[in-house]
Each structure stands twice: as C-alpha cells, then as structure tokens.
C-alpha cells in the first residue's frame, strides 16, 4: 500500500492493487462505516479466476467475485417499518451520490442506497432481499432503462418510479465522449483504471457539480483499492455504447404502453450537459407522466440539488401512499 495524500518526500505512484488515504480518519472511511454488505443473486460462470484482458495475468483476490453470491454495499437510513425507497445511482457513480437525499427521506421512510452492477435479474434479487413489501424506486441517468425494464416485469412490487435525467429520446441514444472513451480498445482499459478520469471527470463534466476533495476521496476509493472497478466500468461502457439505442427505444415503449400501471415521475436537472432537454417535455405529456424541472441541477440531480430532491421524492411518495 501507499498513501495517496502523503507528502512528496514519501513518494507516490499507482498500481492495480491500489493505494489508500492516510491512516487517519477520512470521509471515505466514515461513509463505508455507515453501510453493510447485502448478499443477493447467485454467482454464475465457470468459476475460473478472473484475468486482466490486456496481459492475461490472474487478477488479485480483491478483484475476484465471491464463490457463492454477489455482495452489494448498501447504506440504510430511517425506520425499517416505514415504506421503503430504494435509491439507484447512475453510470458511473456510487450510492454516495445520495448522501444528501438520505437524511431527508429517513424522517418518514426507510431509504436504501446501494452500489450495483447493471443486470435486471440481479436488481430483482437485491430488491427482494432488502424489501418484502412494495417499494418506491428512484434511479438516475443511464441506468434508468435497466430499472424500467425491471419495473415492467415487477409492476406489482412498485408504489412509485422516479426517474432522474433518464435517456428518453433519440437524441439520448449516444454515450457522451466522457463515457464512450472507456469502451475504446486499449485506451479505454487505461483510462478506466485512472481514478481521476473514471470518477472526477465523469462526475464533473456533465453539469455544474464541483467535486470537493473530501467527496473525491470516496469516489476514487474503488479505483484505488482494486482493478475490478475499472474493468467493470470498461465492460459496462462497451455494452452501453453498443446497446444504448435499443435501451432507449425499449424504455419509451414500456413507459408509453397502455398496460403500464406504475405512477411515474421524471425529474429533470436542466443544466445537464450530456442529455438534451428537447422532446423530454413532449414525452411526458404524451405518456401522461409527471415532469418536475430543477433549473439549478445537472445530470447528477442528487449531487446538485440533493436536499431539494429529497423533499420532492418525499412529497411524491406520501401522496401515493
């Protein structure tokens, strides 16, 4: 290990096995102390050890999947007897992005934010593990199509669906250059292992969000402690770049289908630099879904207007329940 905030005299560097911040208290440690690991969704595949795709070397233990089920890091807030709200981050981001929303929702709800992989079946497994009753789902950005697909198969499980700057129109069918670069051969492999490009740049290039160093400590940590985060980012980016157009078309079809029964709200941060607002208002009118505009927020609504968003979500769900 090396200390990435150590004085210059101590030296610095980067490795796939990662580094860490100083041994003293820091925001990253404090955040992860709040959460726990939830086991859900069986691990499939051959059981062979994962290898890096460039040199074929076996990756370290920290980059290997567990032998039984996936482990999901989640942070819960509020009384577990209250109605459950599950907060799902976008791509690429983390549950930490909802840190300003959780305290607001915890007053009246059981709020759960978690780090996840983009699989419909795995999402279903996680939701069933953490909530036996009906839930409200909040999802942001490019992971919205996956959640909408899950919701279409599990409408009876949902009270509400709240979408934060989701890709909805034909203009949204291409990944922005900041994300598509991770899918490029070799270059993407390198950039996806760079915590500054993978976390800082991806989160600050899409809107007004200005990342503080304390927050950066949390967002960079996965890329510093294991190569698996970078490889996952690379793989998801490749799949998203290839399939995004179909994802958007499926999302539109589901949300406009006459058999869609889930109360749906679109919250739109109007300072989004990745997704164009054109046609979003028309989509909501034609599909009869509620639209709420947030003038000061960008693509990551929960980062720019977290407390305001928490109040909006709380109000929407309370009227439903």
DSSP, residue by residue, 83-116? PEEEEE--TT--GGGGTTTHHHHTTTSEEEEE--
CA angle 155, 159, 163 (to 5 degrees): 85
Residue 3 within any structural domain of the chain: no
Residue 22 within any structural domain of the chain: no
Give the pLDDT confidence of 294-304 residue by residue, as tens digits.
999 999 999 99
Residue 12 within any structural domain of the chain: no
Q: Which residues contact 263 (CB under 8 A, 6 or more apart)?
A: 159, 160, 161, 320
Residue carrying structure tokens 């509620």: 290
Residue 236 within any structural domain of the chain: yes
Domain count, the chain: 1
Give the pLDDT confidence of 90-103 residue by residue, as tens digits.
999 999 999 999 99
Global model pTM greater than 0.85: yes
Residue 13 within any structural domain of the chain: no
Q: Which residues of the chain have pLDDT under 50?
A: 1-19
Q: Indicate the pairing of strand 84-88 with strand 110-114.
A: parallel
Residue 31 within any structural domain of the chain: yes
Q: Are 161 and 144 in contact (CB under 8 A)?
A: no
**Which of 205, 139, 183 lies closest to 127, judged by CA?**
139
Q: Are 196 and 293 in contact (CB under 8 A)?
A: no
pLDDT number for residue 16:
37
CATH code (residue 228): 3.40.50.1820
Neighbour tally for 2: CB within 10 Å: 15
Residue 6 within any structural domain of the chain: no
Give the pLDDT confidence of 132-163 residue by residue, as tens digits.
999 999 999 999 999 999 999 999 999 999 99
Domain region containing 216? 27-50+58-320
Q: Are 178 and 240 in contact (CB under 8 A)?
A: no
Q: Which helix (H) or strand (E) holds 284?
A: helix 280-287
Residue 15 within any structural domain of the chain: no
């Amino acid at each position: 290990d090396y200390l990435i905030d150590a004085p210059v005299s101590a030296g610095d560097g980067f490795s796939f096995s990662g580094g860490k911040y100083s041994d003293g208290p820091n925001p990253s440690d404090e955040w992860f102390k709040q959460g726990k690991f939830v086991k859900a969704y069986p691990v499939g595949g051959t059981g062979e050890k994962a290898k890096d795709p460039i040199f074929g070397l076996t990756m370290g233990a920290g980059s290997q999947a567990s032998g039984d089920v996936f482990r999901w890091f989640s942070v819960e807030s509020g009384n577990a007897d209250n109605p459950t709200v599950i907060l799902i981050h976008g791509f690429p981001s983390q549950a930490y992005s909802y840190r300003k929303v959780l305290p607001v929702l915890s007053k009246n709800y059981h709020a759960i934010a978690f780090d996840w992989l983009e699989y419909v079946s795995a999402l279903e497994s996680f939701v069933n593990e953490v909530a036996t009753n009906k839930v409200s789902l909040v999802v942001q950005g490019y992971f919205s199509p996956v959640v909408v697909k899950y919701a279409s198969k599990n409408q009876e499980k949902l009270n509400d669906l709240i979408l934060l700057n989701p890709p909805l129109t034909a203009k949204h069918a291409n990944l922005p250059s900041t994300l598509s670069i991770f899918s490029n051969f070799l270059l993407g492999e390198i950039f996806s292992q760079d915590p500054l490009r993978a976390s800082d740049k991806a989160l600050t290039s899409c809107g007004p969000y200005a990342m503080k160093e304390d927050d950066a400590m949390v967002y960079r940590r996965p890329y510093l402690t294991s190569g698996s985060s970078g490889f996952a980012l690379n793989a998801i980016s490749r799949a998203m770049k290839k399939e995004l157009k179909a994802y958007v078309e499926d999302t539109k079809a589901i949300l406009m289908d006459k058999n869609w029964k889930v109360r749906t709200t679109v919250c739109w941060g109007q300072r989004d630099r990745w997704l164009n607002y054109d046609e979003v208002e028309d989509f909501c009118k034609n599909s009869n879904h509620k639209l709420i505009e947030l003038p000061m927020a960008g693509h990551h609504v929960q980062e720019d207007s977290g407390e305001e968003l928490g109040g909006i979500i709380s109000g929407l769900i309370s009227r439903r329940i």
